[in-house]
């Protein structure tokens, strides 16, 4: 839930690889998924610091995408009002 909340706030998530990470993030598009080891974290953070322009591109992608569910809630509310 924290990853989605961060995306809604316009933040670029940086996470380690966990079971549903690829379902929550488009790695290399709107966030980063690092290998869940000390070496993986080191390599990922080093790469991020050496290529800061990528972070700007990820942030632009995050800001262009709607991650909230406001539209779904509005549809649901409209259905309930008709009942």
Alpha carbon distance 43, 55 (integer Å): 15
The per-residue pLDDT for range 13-59, each reduced to its tens digit, is 999 999 999 999 988 898 999 999 999 999 999 999 999 888 899 99
Q: Which phi-psi region, left, alpha or beta, contains residue 17 (left: φ > 0; alpha: ψ -120 to 50)?
A: beta
pTM score, whole prediction: 0.75
pLDDT, position 69: 77
């Amino acid at each position: 839930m924290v990853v989605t909340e961060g995306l809604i706030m316009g933040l670029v998530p940086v996470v380690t690889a966990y079971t549903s990470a690829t379902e929550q993030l488009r790695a290399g598009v709107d966030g980063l998924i690092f290998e869940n080891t000390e070496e993986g974290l080191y390599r990922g953070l080093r790469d991020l610091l050496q290529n800061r322009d990528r972070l700007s591109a990820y942030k632009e992608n995050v800001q262009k995408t709607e991650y909230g569910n406001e539209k779904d809630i509005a549809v649901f509310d409209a259905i309930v009002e008709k009942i």
